[in-house]
A and B are shown apart, each in its own frame.
Chain A
Amino acid sequence: MSARRQHAWTLGFFLLVSALFTWPLVTAPLSIHVSRQFDLYSLLWLVDAMGSTDAGLHYSQTSWPVGESLNRMDSFLIAGLAWMGHGLLSGRLLASLLAILGPVISAFAAERVAATHFGARWPYSIIAGLSYAFSGMAATALLEGHVYALLNPWLPLLLGALLRTLGPIGSSRDGAWAALWWVLCLLTSAYTGIAATILVLVVALSSRFWRREDWRPAITAGMGMLAVGLAYAALFAHSGSAVRDPTEGMATDPLKVMMAGSVHLDSLASWTGIMDLHLHSVTGTLGFCVLVLSLISPLVLGRVHGMLVALAVTGILLSFGPLIQLSDGGLNLPAPVSLMALLGDKASFFNFPSRMLWIAHLALGILAAVVATHLAERVDRRWCLALLALAVVDSLAGTGTPFRTARVSHAVPSVYAQAPAGRAILELRPEFGSFGTDLALLTNNLGCAYQSAHGRPLANQCMGTTVGAGTRSLGRWLNTAVYQRALLRDVPQALGEMGFGAVVVRPDLYAEQDRRAVIGVLTQVLGEPLGQSTDAGEYLVMFAVPEITTTPAGRLAQYARIKAAYP
């Protein structure tokens, strides 16, 4: 079979697996998404925000009236695509394309690297693609909603380019390619950038490149990575405390927060229902086919493949986070990441150690493909082809994606269309407490995603892993006013001065007596509701705020007063 035909078969095969992996997304890619958590809503907002005319590193239409810095967006690559598209590419379309086609491209890159640099033969090289792009971490990205992580051919390409760069005939050009792939990893997401950096360190140490006479290829790669890395870090640090808003838990015990984003020993084997309900869908499934083939590799290959084993072990160890736990508790052996406790509060920058598992998925997949190739040379080919089928079952049943994916509507409640044009919307939510942080973030992010349809400025801060401090302050102020009559008189005036034109309430989220109180008090001070809707899956009640002519400085002064009083 010609190489071109082999590539076509490989791509078609991965496309078919991807359709099953993301099922039922392929049946309605513009009207539904399949994520179970809420990160996707921020992505939809970001894509549409970057496509707007005033897009940049500061966006004025959310976190109203101060706006919010976008310096710490997770994926500069996707934001760049959206910015260049200038609204031609909707958030929904881009998210669905990333979810369905991203794994296909990533898997193809891993398959090619396994074949080109490690001697895996087709069709066994396909195992590398399945292990990398249809893995536990891929399921996590799909179900959590950060689907941009699924389009990551850069990590396998980086591995291939590094091997050339640090090999005996490496050139400066190879070094430049390695730097480019590393930069694209970093721009895909900060965590992918960290994983890529760890991959670079492990490969560099394994290759012992310092024994070479010509250091130019390594210096070219290193300087390229260093320059972009420093610029990225400077941009990240520049956004300052205005964006970073650590919760009390992050400040007092960052390692405890980190455990929620870590992999447990049981999750390396398979998924459980607990993951979706309490563990943010973090799935570490390695795949038994890949694991068993890798474990017997010394027996089949006659040697230990040091670099791939080092990559796999490093990735798995780091993904455990501070403690190696059997299952969300139990065992509790200290892991290398526990040393990050020395960083104190700053350790909360590394809240999702699980994402280091991408390195292990790649390394184990390549090793398994090489072992399968060796076995196929000595055993009847038909027996070995079954390994491909086993790897597909691992990708689908092991991660559980076809059963765990949801079918969530993209529809937007109709009540938003009635909000006064050009004035901001304040979404009022109850205090969720420490048990309801996910629910608070879900409703906050949903509001952000709706903005692309209604186009009004919004009080919600849409970037970050917690509800923004300003958004929380405004909510606390208004919720407090419900039970403190003395505050009530100021509400319409203060809202109007800050430029708000409407308050939207989700009554179902409140306890019964509070529900009546909130609606009653808002009716008393703002008048009968402007509108309400029960379409698109939400019961929303909207109140109009009287228009008050104000200056930007006046808006900010009123906002600052409330933020200081209700921190």
Chain B
Amino acid sequence: MRFLIPLLALLLISASGSSSAWAADNQIIDMQVSLPSRSAYVALELEVTRLGTKHSIRLRDDGSVPNDLPHDGIWNGRLSGTYSRLISVRVFGHRDSGSPELLYSGVERTEDTRHVLLGWRVMRTNQRYTAVRTPLSYPGNVAEMFVALPLISGFGWGMFILLYVGMLVRLSRRGGEE
């Protein structure tokens, strides 16, 4: 039972000191938009309303934003500041000339106190463009918004286990024969 004591102590200590455990002023919201390679837009902009204040964020795909790989078709932007549970977002696309086109508008959940990752994919439907919310793979910082990455990794892991258990069965049979 002796090793249980440190674990329980950790639980109690963290409970007693937990009131100041989350920082209210350094939430980071990373936003990524995937743009088709032959789209008509030369720039993307997000309009974010957070805690009653409107922010305009010009997205980048030139490597100047943290975690951005230049010219990979994933446009990145970052907003940091006071903790917010919900933000409202509008995504605009800019052509070479002319006014911005609204591609998406909606309310997004940003409840994690430390870091939130939001993703959109710009799609072409009926000769027009629209953006949809899409989940991003974890951990972030990958070149593609590869939703099924954990699933594919899972099957690889499953194959490894199959081989390992198969080896154990074979060894057990050899042991039985001896």
> Which listed residue, A288, A374, A383, touches B158 by the CB 8 Å rule?
A288
Cβ–Cβ contact B114 & A538, under 8 A = no
Cβ–Cβ contact A409 & B150, under 8 A = no
Cβ–Cβ contact A390 & B168, under 8 A = no
> Which interface residue of A397, A439, A506, A539 has the most chain B CB atoms within 10 A?
A539
> Which listed residue, B17, B20, B138, B154, touches A404 by the CB 8 Å rule?
B138
Cβ–Cβ contact B165 & A393, under 8 A = no
| Stretch in B6-14, B37-45, B60-68, B72-80 with 4+ CB within 8 Å of A | B6-14
4 closest cross-chain pairs (CB), A and B: A273-B135, A270-B154, A28-B21, A28-B18
Interface readout for B151-178 with A: 1 if CB under 8 Å, 0 if not? Answer: 1011101100110111011011101100
**Contacts A291-B158, A406-B111 known; 13 new A-B pairs at CB < 8 A:** A29-B11, A93-B15, A100-B11, A270-B154, A273-B135, A278-B135, A289-B165, A379-B171, A439-B86, A506-B86, A507-B52, A508-B49, A511-B105
User: How far is it, in angstroms, between the C-alpha of A390 and the C-alpha of B18 when the chains are bound?
Assistant: 33
Contacts of A488 in B (CB 8 A): none
Q: Determine the residue in chain A with the shortest Cβ distance to B176.
A: A378
Q: Does B130 contact A (CB under 8 A)?
A: no
Within the complex, what minimum Cβ distance (angstroms) separates A381 from chain B? 11
Give residues 349-386 of A contacting B (CB, 8 Å): 374-375, 378-380, 383-384, 386
Cβ–Cβ contact A300 & B172, under 8 A = yes
> Which listed residue, B21, B157, B175, touches A393 by the CB 8 Å rule?
B157
Please give the residue numbers on chain A whose beta carbons come within 8 Å of chain B beta carbons, in ascending order.
8, 11-12, 15-16, 19, 26-32, 36, 93, 96, 100, 266, 269-274, 276-278, 285, 288-289, 291-293, 296, 299-300, 374-375, 378-380, 383-384, 386-387, 390, 393, 397-398, 400, 403-404, 406-409, 411, 436, 439, 442-443, 446, 506-509, 511-512, 532, 534-539
Interface size classification for chain B: 35 or more
Cβ–Cβ contact A408 & B111, under 8 A = yes
Cβ–Cβ contact B18 & A32, under 8 A = yes
Q: Determine the residue in chain A with the shortest Cβ distance to B14.
A: A27
Cβ–Cβ contact B50 & A508, under 8 A = yes
Q: Determine the residue in chain A with the shortest Cβ distance to B162.
A: A292
Please give the residue numbers on chain B whose beta carbons come within 8 Å of chain A beta carbons, in ascending order.
1, 3-4, 7, 10-11, 14-15, 17-22, 24, 49-52, 82-88, 105, 107, 109, 111-114, 133-139, 147-148, 150-151, 153-155, 157-158, 161-162, 164-166, 168-169, 171-173, 175-176
> Which listed residue, A296, A400, A406, touches B112 by the CB 8 Å rule?
A406
Contacts of B136 in A (CB 8 A): 273
